[in-house]
Amino acid sequence: MGRHEAWRPPGWRCSWHTAFLAASVLSSCFLLTRAQETTGISIRVVPEVLKEGDSVTLTPEGLDLKNIASCKWYRGAVEERNMIISFFRPPFSGETKGPAHTGRETVKPDFSLYITDLKPADSGIYSFKPEGPGVTITGATNITVSETLSNPVLWPAEAIVAENASVSLQCNTSNRLDVNVTWFKDSNPVLDKAVLFNRNRNLTLTAVSKDEEGMYTCKATNPVSKATSNPSKISLAYGPNNVKLNQTGTVTLKLGSRLALLCTAESLPEAQFRWFFNHTNMNVTANTFSTDLTAWEDGGNYTCQAYNSVVKKLASASVNVKLTTQESTPPGSGLTPGQIVGIVIGCVLGVALIGGLGYFLFTKTALGVKRTYNIQH
Ligand SMILES: *[C@@H]1O[C@H](CO)[C@@H](O)[C@H](O)[C@H]1NC(C)=O
Ligand SMILES: *[C@@H]1O[C@H](CO)[C@@H](O)[C@H](O)[C@H]1NC(C)=O
Ligand SMILES: *[C@@H]1O[C@H](CO)[C@@H](O)[C@H](O)[C@H]1NC(C)=O
Ligand SMILES: *[C@@H]1O[C@H](CO)[C@@H](O)[C@H](O)[C@H]1NC(C)=O
Ligand SMILES: *[C@@H]1O[C@H](CO)[C@@H](O)[C@H](O)[C@H]1NC(C)=O
Ligand SMILES: *[C@@H]1O[C@H](CO)[C@@H](O)[C@H](O)[C@H]1NC(C)=O
Ligand SMILES: *[C@@H]1O[C@H](CO)[C@@H](O)[C@H](O)[C@H]1NC(C)=O
Ligand SMILES: *[C@@H]1O[C@H](CO)[C@@H](O)[C@H](O)[C@H]1NC(C)=O
Ligand SMILES: *[C@@H]1O[C@H](CO)[C@@H](O)[C@H](O)[C@H]1NC(C)=O
């Protein structure tokens, strides 16, 4: 005992009086632990780390077997409704199953409780109560059965975030207390700017900048297993920048021809498009717009408006269409019908030489030229 005393760090030295006072105060919260410490039979748990499917043996230690004829084991506190099993030692050999028996518990002659095929739900307090003349002592232990973790599900799997905004990732995994969650960005532990909630299951980044872009994963760990989630990609939103139409400035087209426009924008997420003629919304949301220029008032200002819903920014590009009865030349093309006929003949000759593959090329080329030719008319 003296040796034991000398072993303790200085902080542990205290008078019996103080210790008793502290014990009294704490006893209401830690009843079972106290009972185990003061009057308790200590219970050895083998193996120490338990995973689902394993078996465990809970062995009461230091029992004076001569005085003990029978015992009871409980799942939880010593209460009738928690009784797993009541066991009698030889010569009165026998056992009675209680309401908390699951079919997996047996007691050995040394009064140890043996549980097979452990489940996470078996975690908790087990109480032991020996019975015999003058025996009042009891014991209890708390076991944790850890599950074999499956991969957590991290969502959203992709997030596009406006600069300086915040974003939350949710790591969906077992909620059991023995399961820890840690976070990684591009395979390195996440440290900066991350705030964790809900026992680390929720990672929130605030004031997101370029530095927070990357692939995130969460990892669930318990004493018997670990599992990593799917990646979640966080990107910074930008744009729309560099909004362009494939016709610019003023174009002169023949009355009766068809106007076809393509709008492009650099944007993340992809821009949403709207088209206006003069100031009228044309209710078209594609990146292309086409219309037949059948009336003089179809000439005017055609505008593509690109919108980034995350950045909440608009940008636009316009082309001014002038109509004429004259044959006109679309900008950038500059080919006369004669030249086009030449190209078509050239292509046909080339295609004939290429053979099997040629049919596809011919079709594509022919269509392209045909469209140009229509505008020429
Ligand atoms: C048993 O131990 C676990 C882990 O230490 C703890 O979280 C839990 O509250 C304990 N259970 C009881 C009933 O004391
Ligand atoms: C984000 O915050 C930084 C620092 O406060 C500021 O310089 C920057 O302009 C902000 N960016 C946006 C898009 O608001
Ligand atoms: C989390 O995972 C569990 C089990 O896979 C599932 O039942 C639950 O719906 C998930 N919760 C969310 C919010 O995805
Ligand atoms: C959970 O993580 C904390 C901090 O990293 C660590 O101290 C603790 O032992 C871990 N618990 C388990 C069950 O892995
Ligand atoms: C994560 O925590 C943040 C901050 O408390 C909260 O706004 C967000 O709704 C949480 N996300 C989820 C999915 O619970
Ligand atoms: C513009 O793009 C549209 C749609 O792709 C296309 O039909 C049209 O020929 C293009 N115009 C020019 C001048 O390239
Ligand atoms: C677009 O839709 C609005 C509302 O439905 C309608 O008032 C307007 O006339 C439409 N514009 C065109 C060009 O069809
Ligand atoms: C569009 O604007 C042009 C030029 O301002 C004008 O000539 C044309 O008549 C307008 N068209 C319509 C339908 O408003
Ligand atoms: C065309 O319309 C857009 C949007 O209304 C405007 O910004 C632009 O100045 C106009 N261009 C011409 C040539 O009228």
Going from the Cα of 193 to the center of ligand 3, the distance in angstroms, rounded, reads 27
Q: 247-274 pLDDT, tens per residue?
A: 999 999 999 999 999 999 999 999 999 9
Is 123 near ligand 4, meaning CB less than 6 Å away? no
DSSP assigned state of 19: H
Average pLDDT for the chain: 82
Ligand 6 centre and the CA of 239: distance in Å?
A: 23
Closest listed ligand to the CA of 237: 2
Ligand 9 proximity of 320 Cβ (cutoff 6 Å): yes
Summarize pLDDT for 183-230 with one digit per residue, the tens. Answer: 999 999 997 779 999 999 999 999 999 999 999 999 999 999 999 999
Residue 248, pLDDT score: 93
Ligand 4 center–CA 100 separation, angstroms: 31
What pLDDT, on a 0 to 100 scale, did the predictor assign at position 177? Answer: 92
The reply to whether ligand 8 has any atom less than 6 angstroms from the CB of 297 is yes
Strands 158-161 and 232-236: parallel
Per-residue pLDDT at 191:
77
- How many whole angstroms from 153 Cα to the centroid of ligand 9? 49
At residue 326, the pLDDT reads 65
Can you give the pLDDT at residue 330?
52
The string of pLDDT tens digits covering residues 50-65 is 999 999 999 999 888 8
The CA-CA-CA angle for residues 42, 44, 50, to 5°, reads: 135
Q: Closest ligand 7 atom to the C-alpha of 277?
A: 13
Alpha-carbon gap, residue 209 to 164, rounded angstroms: 6
* Mean pLDDT, residues 350-361: 42
Of 15-19, 36-40, 159-163, 218-222, the range with the lowest mean pLDDT is 15-19
- Residue spans of beta strands (DSSP E) within 108-201: 113-115, 124-131, 139-143, 145-146, 153-155, 158-161, 167-172, 180-185, 188-189, 194-197
pLDDT of res. 275: 98
Q: What does the alpha-carbon distance between residue 227 and residue 211 come to, in Å, rounded to a whole number? A: 26
**Cα–ligand 3 centroid distance for 104 (angstroms):** 30
Q: Which ligand is nearest to the CA of 124?
A: 1
Per-residue model confidence (pLDDT) at position 93: 82
Candidate from 153, 168, 175 with most ligand 5 atoms within 8 A of CB, to mutate:
168
What are φ and ψ of residue 43, in 5° steps?
-120, 125
Write out residues with Cβ below 6 Å of ligand 2: 163-164
Q: Is the dihedral of CA 43, 44, 49, 51 positive or negative?
A: negative
User: Cβ neighbours of residue 134 under 8 Å, at least 6 residues apart?
Assistant: 67
Distance, in Å, from the CA atom of 175 to the CA atom of 146, rounded to the nearest integer, reads 12
Mind listing the domains of the chain with CATH numbers? Answer: 42-143 (2.60.40.10), 153-236 (2.60.40.10), 238-324 (2.60.40.10)
- Cα of first residue to Cα of last residue in the chain, in angstroms, is 111
Please report the pLDDT score of residue 363 as a whole number.
39
pTM given for the model: 0.70
* Per-residue model confidence (pLDDT) at position 329: 53
**Atom in ligand 6 nearest the alpha carbon of residue 288:** 4
Distance 165 CA to ligand 2 centre (A): 10
Neighbours of 195 (CB within 10 A): 11
Bridge partner list, 139: 41, 128
> Per residue in 113-161, pLDDT tens?
999 999 999 999 999 999 998 889 999 999 999 999 999 999 999 999 9
Instruction: Please state, in angstroms and rounded to a whole number, the distance separating the CA atoms of residues 366 and 371.
Output: 9
- Name the nearest CA neighbour of 144 among 111, 114, 112, 120: 120
Ligand nearest the Cα atom of residue 279: 9
pLDDT, residue 327, reads 58
367: pLDDT strictly greater than 90: no
> What are 287-300's pLDDT values in tens digits?
999 999 999 999 99
DSSP state of 41: B
Least Cα distance to 42 among 132, 145, 137 occurs for 137
Query: From the CA of 162, how far away is ligand 5's center (Å)?
Result: 17
Which residue from 114, 116, 122 is spatially nearest to 147, judged by alpha carbons?
A: 122
Ligand 6 atom with the smallest distance to the CA of 331 is 13
Q: What is the DSSP letter of 282?
A: -
| 377 pLDDT higher than 60 | no
Pick the residue with more confidence: 105 or 18?
Answer: 105
Q: Are 95 and 88 in contact (CB under 8 A)?
A: yes
Centroid of ligand 2 to alpha carbon of 208 (angstroms): 10
- Contact of 193 with 206, CB cutoff 8 Å: yes
